[in-house]
Structure 1
Amino acid sequence: MNTDKINKDSYSVPARILLYGTAAVILTIGMREISGILVPVFFSIFAFLIFAPLVNWFQRKGVPGPVSVGLVIFFFIIIATGTVLLVAGSLFQLSSQIPGYQTQFSDLIQNIERYLPASDEFSFEGILRDIGAFVLGLTAGILTGALNAGTTTALIITTTTFLLLDAAGALRKVQREAGTQPMLFLQVIQLGKSLVSFILIRTETNLIAGIGTTILLLIVRIDFAVLWGILTFVLGYIPFLGFILAAFPPVLLALFKYGPLGALAILAGLWLINEFVESVVLPSLAGKGLKLSPSIVFLSLFYWAFVLGPSGALIAIPLTMVVKMILESSDDTRWLAGLMESGESKE
């Protein structure tokens, strides 16, 4: 009888994998179909998680609940509207100068080609053009995705406002439910703390990187320095690829203005800022980090970009953390959550 039970359990493992895989495919297709709705909703939720702690901070300072919520909503509207207007204005100015930059890029490729070995099978010029077009297109696609979310600013602000309006009483509601469902309470608290902590820390470090980038580019007089600082802040939410995508436009402009040595110097400066933020500031704030496998982090970027479009890459890590926490909440799927962890977190 024990043998039958073992065989039954062994056969149930692949059956469960097939079931979970089928459910994941169906869920992916469904989310992709309604991505136009999910993107502003997700951005609203994450905006709420960033600004909600301010409500509690005002309340601890003695500010009444409705007044503290009103102040936070006012700050959120000012920051969101100001950022959208600043980015839109900079992009409008940038678009008028793109033909000139394209001419400079073509001249640069022709000058470089003279020093490259000739080949009948392939063209180094074509490869350089393709690489430049790919990186520029990818950067523009992600920025456009963020701006598309900005075009729904009214919906995002409205949704975030209603979430913030309920923030003052949310803690009392959770505490009231804690007495009847202690396990659920602990799970919700743990999920909320981890997610909010990551979003706040990532936002703080991105802000430092964005300010540092802006100051450096202003000192060396690179065009649209504030825009590239904002781009660094936004793309900082994308691990591995974010720094490359954010650094490419200002380094390219530096190449036009100062030549190869100047571009390398500015790239080195941007790299030092990124290393300081990622290797010094972030570990000091985040401790052991995400507890996510680097391969899972990397694959999640492509998955959420496929499901939600380019803007999905910006919130890929928080969404993956939510998926991992959901898997951890059930005994049947906890092993899947374990596979998503890095080797260091298992020790």
Structure 2
Amino acid sequence: MTSTVPDKAGLHILLKLASLVVILAGIHAAADIIVQLLMALFFAIILNPLVRWFIRRGLSRPVAITIVVVVMLCVLTALVGVLAASINEFIAMMPKYNKELTRKLIDIQETLPFLHLRMSPERLLQRMDSDKMMAFATTMMAGLSGAMASILLLMMTVVFMLFEVRHVPYKLRFALAQPQIHIAGLHRALKGVSHYLALKTLLSLWTGAIVWLGLALLDIQFALMWGVLAFLLNYVPNIGAVLSAIPPMIQAFLFNGYYECLMVGALFFAVHMVLGNIVEPRMMGHRLGMSTLVVFLSLLIWGWLLGPVGMLLSVPLTSVCKIWMETTTGGSKMAILLGPGRPKSRLPG
């Protein structure tokens, strides 16, 4: 009689793992539509506090939503237009990048012969095929144009979400079996995620603006484009700051010099140290309650499932999953594994 208990437990675990695989495969297969919904939800969470602010000033909800969405649409359109012009100019300079990179590497070979690099200009030019780089850059440009075409659909979805948000608690109260528990968990998840996204967006704007101004003062070309890249990659935990620093450092190394390259690296390092390691922890605290390992793994998993958008939103998505697990009987132990560890009051010493 006792031998069947472990078999049932093992079968139960296998069923859970099989269900998880099916869910992840479904998310990966439906990534296109899920990414659109997540982006709309992201903007709705960011814009909803502004809508509430206008409502408290005496405006009706339709008027408040119209003002916020029109301003947001104008800002996005202007930003995409400026980025499109910068990327188009960047594409035109790709052959020049190849030649400068080849020349710099040959100079390094001649300056440091003990490295035995043994590089020939012909082989370097063959490996750094400008046609492939141009094709990659053109693909990026086409993706940016596609994003511009879908902004209208995205904004329409955001508008409907902003109108629907006030009815969500009423619907959940009658739709859920245990509304008190689930609504409390949903409220905690939305509060934590909205707080995270709002502060992260503010810090990312500061990061992008400081990088843009710093690169402009250093006379680095495409400073606005690298500032926007720093703004976007600041949402990516752990590795976003490093990834955003690499392209402008390479450009400064090729077209400005060694000193400017070091200055660009110092600029990104200072911004990351001040905003990322001092300001951000003080403003955010530990509201999302996840360990550093879980944050990094969530970056990889959501990036594989949903692509770049999954990487940008990996932390809030994992936080919502963790809080949802805390409200279920079977997922409470898994939520503990995703947490940062034992509370400080329980630690020895």
Query: TM-score scaled by structure 1?
Result: 0.85
Q: 1:227 aligns with which of 225, 234, 240?
A: 225
Show structure 2 runs of 5+ residues with no match. none
Distance verdict in 2 for CA 1:244–1:58, change over 3 Å: same
Task: Tell whether 2:342 aligns with 1:329.
Answer: no
8 Å CA contact 1:206–1:234 kept in 2: the answer is yes
How many residues align? The count is 336
Match of 1:79 in 2: 75
Q: Pick from 49, 52, 62 the counterpart of residue 53 of structure 1.
A: 49
Superposition map of 1:1-347 within 5 A = 4=2, 8=5, 13-114=9-110, 115=112, 117-118=114-115, 147=144, 149-167=147-165, 169-170=166-167, 173=170, 181-343=179-341
Tell me if the contact between 2:236 and 2:312 (Cα under 8 Å) persists in the aligned partners. Answer: yes
- The one-letter amino acid paired with 1:208 is W
AA in 2 matched with 1:274: H
Percent of pairs identical after alignment?
26
Query: Hey, what's the Cα distance between the residues in 2 that align with 1:96 and 1:340?
Result: 46
CA 1:108–1:289: 2 relative to 1, 3 Å: farther
TM (norm. structure 2) is 0.84
TM-fit CA distance, 1:309: 2.2
How far apart, in 1, do the equivalents of 2:85 and 2:343 lie? Answer: 44
- Partner amino acid for 2:164? D
SS at match of 1:292: coil
Looking at structure 2, the residues matched to 124 and 344 of structure 1 have their Cα atoms a distance apart, in angstroms, of 57
Per-residue CA deviation, residues 89-115 of structure 1 (Å, 9 max, x unaligned), is 211111111111121111112222331
CA-CA distance at 1:140 after TM superposition: 7.4
Of residues 250-259 and 214-223 in structure 1, the stretch that sits farther from structure 2 once superposed is 250-259
How many Å apart are 1:124 and its aligned residue?
12
CA contact (8 A) 2:36 2:154 kept: yes
Gap change, CA 1:289 and 1:173, over 3 Å in 2: closer
Of 294-303 and 191-200, more deviation after overlay is shown by 294-303
- What is the aligned-residue RMSD (CA, Å)? 3.4
Deviation sequence 1:233-257 (CA, Å, 0-9, x none): 1011101211111111111121123
Q: Which amino acid aligns with 1:238?
A: V
Letter in 2 for 1:36: D
* Maintained 8 Å contact 1:28/1:307: yes
Q: 1:268 to 1:13 in 2, by over 3 A?
A: farther
- Name whichever of 30-39 and 43-52 sits farther off: 30-39
> C-alpha distance in 2, partners of 1:146/1:341?
37
Alpha-carbon distance in structure 2 between the residues aligned to 1:109 and 1:13: 60
What secondary structure, in the 3-state scheme, does the structure 1 residue paired with 2:93 have? Answer: helix
Give the Cα separation in 1 of the matches to 2:318 and 2:81.
Answer: 31
Name the SS for the 2:321 alignment partner. Answer: helix
**Alignment-mate amino acid for residue 285 of structure 2:** G
Letter in 1 for 2:105: I
User: Which string of whole-angstrom CA distances, capped at 9 and with x for unpartnered residues, describes residues 119-140 of structure 1?
Assistant: 59x989999x999x9xx99x97
Moved more, 49-58 or 78-87: 78-87
Alpha-carbon distance in 2 for matches of 1:13, 1:305: 32
Contact 1:141 1:310 in 2 (8 A): no
Q: Specify which structure has the bigger relative contact order, considering alpha-carbon pairs within 8 angstroms and separated by 6 or more residues.
A: 1
Rounded Cα–Cα distance in structure 2 between residues aligned with 1:130 and 1:312: 32
Q: Counterpart of 2:268 in 1: which secondary structure?
A: helix
- Counterpart amino acid of residue 165 in structure 1: F
Helix, strand or coil: the match of 2:92?
helix
Deviation readout 1:275-324 (Å, 9 max, x if unpaired)? 11112221121012532122221122221221122332112222212222
CA contact (8 A) 1:327 1:337 kept: yes
